[in-house]
Structure 1
Amino acid sequence: MGVEVSRLSNGLTVATETLPSIESVALGVWVKSGARDERDEEHGMAHLLEHMAFKGTRRRSAFQIASEIEDVGGEINAATSVETTSFYARVLSADVPLAVDMLADILQESLFDPDELSREQHVILQEIGAAHDTPDDIVFDRFTETAFRHQTLGRSILGTPETVKSFTSKQLHDFIERQYGADRMIVVAAGDIRHDDFVREVEARLGGFRAKSTGTTPQYAQYVGGDFRENRDLMDAQIILGFEGRAYHVRDFYCSQVLSMILGGGMSSRLFQEVREKRGLCYSVYAFHWGFSDTGIFGVHAATGQSGMAELVPVIIRELERAGESIGQVELDRAHAQYRAGLIMSGENPASRASQIARQLLLFGRPVPKEELMERLAALTVDRLTDLSGRLFSTKPTLTAVGPVGALAPYESILEALPNGTGMARKLAG
């Protein structure tokens, strides 16, 4: 049957997909507003709002929110990202009306009680402290901060202790009033669901939601790159080497995704084979590509001890350089197979499928059929991949490292060793 989409009179988009042989439903509300939409004094508010959504409404206490959904064996949660916030549930099909009612209640009737707020602020302060004490978490925060310096896109989603402690109930109400409107919201259900029935449930509970948000479009992001190092007394150093990536909408987005799989997407990838299997320089190494609405970032993450520090980065750079020289058809075919399998497997999971549909509607204004995605991937060639590699790894690098980083080469030397520099990776190693 595929994805069915309706639009309510207030502009709210409602989408469903019936999945055969599934007796449950994953449903949720996705909002095109995240950490990137915060003002300077609101840093961390989108994440705090996600926490406070379950702390009581005019009709339900915090305990009732938890118990009502668990009384029917369901679950409810929320998540904050750079550009979106989601509130979602998983229930048996007969309990969809309860889940819709609860999500609508959370979005429209949350109290943001000052006592609950104070307790949750304390919880998030502990979360911030725990993240700082976890090197493989904090290195990613420092990575985005360095790549997009002094921009909301580069800020930690958690906020800072100072900003989080300063928030009031009124500020939370003001934020949701400004950022949340039907024009920026998608309601999706996947699983054992009938479209017309679901639309009626959503219409009854969210049909009166304000039509327009008043939030402004975030400032266009500018990738800047740079160097950040934090010397800590640890067993391993966490290292990320990154470059400017591609936004969701541009031609090279899927090419960048496939390139990250070839370089570091599994045990057969180039980086895993060269860095771990052949040289034993680290336990874990992988590549990733994150796309945003107006930019992206490509990175390689690895962890190594002091003995492998001097050799690790030159080896990684050499593999990036080699990708610009040649990529085999066998490697491309393997990446195609991995991508295809990932699409099919996620489509068999109601929660993953609902999230995928919501993202597509928010980003492209329509659900993108699996067949269309596969056609885009099939159009990729080894020549396009090598061409992209040459351009991608010629941008100014972002290097972040946390741990015993004393043996790591200076940033200027790494810059020179890259394809756009005056030397090659072997110069670093020598």
Structure 2
Amino acid sequence: MEESKGPIQNPKHKPYGPTDSLPFPSQLREREGRRGETPRPLLPPSPPMLSGMLRSSTRVLRKGPSACIGFFVNSGSVYESGETTGVSYMLEKMAFKGTNHRRHRNLVHELELAGGNVGASYSREQMVYSYDTLKGYMPEAIEILIDCMRNPLFLQEEVERQLVLAREEVQDLHKNPEKFLHEQLNLVGFSGALANPLIPPEDALSRINDKIIQKFYHENYTADRVVLAASGVDHEQLLNYAEFLLRDWHKGSPVEKPKSTYVGGDSRYRADSDMTHVALAFEVPGGWLQERDATIMTIIQTLMGGGGSFSSGGPGKGMHSRLYLRVLNKYHAVQSFSAFSNVYDNTGLFGIYLTTSSDFVAKAVDVAISELIAVATPGEVTEVELQRAKNSTISSVLMNLESRVIVAEDIGRQLLTYGCRKPIDYFLQCMEEITLDDITTFARKMLSSQPTTVSWGDVDKVPPYEFVCKRFR
């Protein structure tokens, strides 16, 4: 493509917001100086609204020269249907590939000069765009991130280039049993929006073009569905930089989140392998919006724990968890055996993922069933085990929140889910209050749902679905 010195002009694409010129960071710094207000170092009690109902929030981290900012969007595969299947997957790949004001190579050059790292990720319910950089480059980072969010350029030639890479990834999905089975859990366990594929099938990719991506973007990336979050940045400073560039981002029409229903089920994929991978899961009713139940589930996951026969993190990791002590230490044919969860706003999945030889898979599944039932049985879990799990969970949460990237993500996702960021003490107190009765009551409620089982590899000896269901009755 012939390089142009001016902004890219695409008559087919009319991005929202000003397109004639963007303020340079120096202009933003001048605006900050004119405000002359004393920065507030603490998180506001409620997230202020920028124009168009876009929400923002920050947390100031006293130490370190770096900061992280991100846009979080209420959009993902649950909002796809028909011709738009796979668009969220492609939006992640098209992120930071150029805007109406920057070619891709110019964007990369600016990022290199600032030493910044950008990234995009998608999930079933949310999209994330982040910029991690030195605090001194924050005005530039905000301007670049907003430009990439508001004025993305979806050129068909770039779409086709990314589709080639996407097809290769989709073809490789069946070779990655853990990733494949976690995708199958949703496709089998739910009906409705959560059963939309996160990783699109090849026939869906063949329908995608620049116009379909652009239409989905305009319908879903509206100010009322976007959160701007940051860590390591003063909140007044963030507002000062951002509100000028976001002042006319339009608010979309009210959109109701598509419905999903948990149904359970069974799926088996035969692959050429000596090992068999199995995931057994149940519904987490209420999802993240049932905060106390979600907290109990998190502690149960730590309590059960698990791991692999070989730990890349060194010996001793997770050695006191129930699945490590009662399964991995006892059955040497088991290669891995771990509790997992996939949780969404209103529902979720919790279960056990295991890998073993095909000759031992029937026994391994039976052990997994027994371990889940044990947690739901009064008297099986001791007070010592519960306290250890609570301490481990609290420690993990606090250590994660030392990362500026995780803090920014925590702020953004909480604002999308709860409408505010709840203080960490709120969750810590909730964890401390969990009792053994809470553990068994929640586990029994969870196991009362229909099981979902998915398997990969030599699946001939995986127990019948009816056998699994009968064990939980």
Q: TM-score, normalised by structure 1?
A: 0.93
Residue in 1 that maps onto 2:227: 186
Residue in 1 that maps onto 2:65: 23
Q: How far apart are the structure 2 equivalents of 1:219 and 1:372?
A: 30
Residue in 1 that maps onto 2:374: 322
Aligned positions of 1:254-293 closer than 5 A = 254-264=295-305, 266-293=318-345
Query: Which residues of structure 1 form unaligned runs of 5+?
Result: 421-430
What percent of counterpart residues are identical?
Answer: 28
CA distances 1:284-317 after superposition (whole Å, capped 9, x unpaired):
2111222212211112111111232121011111
Q: How far apart are the structure 2 equivalents of 1:238 and 1:67?
A: 44
Amino acid of the structure 1 residue aligned with 2:471: A
CA distances 1:335-378 after superposition (whole Å, capped 9, x unpaired):
11122112211111000000001111111111111100011112
**Alpha carbons 1:220, 1:294 under 8 Å: kept:** no
CA-CA distance at 1:216 after TM superposition? 2.9
Residue in 2 that maps onto 1:309: 361
CA-CA distance at 1:215 after TM superposition? 6.5
Structure 1 residue 203 corresponds to structure 2 residue 243: yes
Q: How far apart are the structure 1 equivalents of 2:114 and 2:105?
A: 15
Structure 1 residue 388 corresponds to structure 2 residue 388: no
SS of structure 1 residue aligned to 2:289: coil
CA distances 1:74-113 after superposition (whole Å, capped 9, x unpaired):
1101000110001101000011111111111112222201
CA distances 1:193-250 after superposition (whole Å, capped 9, x unpaired):
221111111112222211x223732332110001111121202111100011131112
Residue in 2 that maps onto 1:175: 216
CA-CA distance at 1:154 after TM superposition? 2.1
Aligned positions of 1:53-68 closer than 5 A = 53-68=95-110
Q: How far apart are the structure 2 equivalents of 1:223 and 1:54?
A: 36
SS of structure 2 residue aligned to 1:366: coil
**Alpha carbons 1:25, 1:350 under 8 Å: kept:** yes
Residue in 1 that maps onto 2:22: none
Q: What is the RMSD computed on CA atoms of the aligned residues?
A: 1.5
SS of structure 2 residue aligned to 1:3: coil
Residue in 1 that maps onto 2:183: 141
Structure 1 residue 362 corresponds to structure 2 residue 404: no
CA distances 1:128-187 after superposition (whole Å, capped 9, x unpaired):
1122221221111111111014x2312321212121221121221211111011111111
SS of structure 2 residue aligned to 1:278: coil
**Alpha carbons 2:193, 2:259 under 8 Å: kept:** no
Residue in 2 that maps onto 1:159: 200
Q: How far apart are the structure 2 equivalents of 1:31 and 1:46?
A: 11
Q: How far apart are the structure 2 equivalents of 1:298 and 1:101?
A: 40
Residue in 1 that maps onto 2:351: 299
Residue in 1 that maps onto 2:387: 333
Residue in 2 that maps onto 1:45: 87
**Alpha carbons 2:415, 2:421 under 8 Å: kept:** yes
SS of structure 1 residue aligned to 2:262: coil
Residue in 2 that maps onto 1:346: 400
**Alpha carbons 1:179, 1:215 under 8 Å: kept:** no
Residue in 2 that maps onto 1:428: none
Residue in 2 that maps onto 1:230: 269
CA 341–297 in structure 1, closer or farther in 2 if over 3 Å, else same: same
Q: How far apart are the structure 1 equivalents of 2:228 and 2:71?
A: 4
SS of structure 2 residue aligned to 1:96: helix
**Alpha carbons 1:179, 1:214 under 8 Å: kept:** no
Amino acid of the structure 1 residue aligned with 2:253: T
Residue in 1 that maps onto 2:257: 218
Q: How far apart are the structure 1 equivalents of 2:448 and 2:101?
A: 56
Corresponding residue to 1:33 among 45, 53, 75: 75
Aligned positions of 1:400-419 closer than 5 A = 400-418=454-472
Amino acid of the structure 1 residue aligned with 2:396: G
CA 186–361 in structure 1, closer or farther in 2 if over 3 Å, else same: same
**Alpha carbons 1:30, 1:85 under 8 Å: kept:** yes
Residue in 1 that maps onto 2:278: 239
Q: How far apart are the structure 1 equivalents of 2:171 and 2:43?
A: 42
Q: How far apart are the structure 2 equivalents of 1:268 and 1:42?
A: 46
Q: How far apart are the structure 1 equivalents of 2:156 and 2:256?
A: 30
Structure 1 residue 399 corresponds to structure 2 residue 453: yes
**Alpha carbons 1:112, 1:169 under 8 Å: kept:** yes
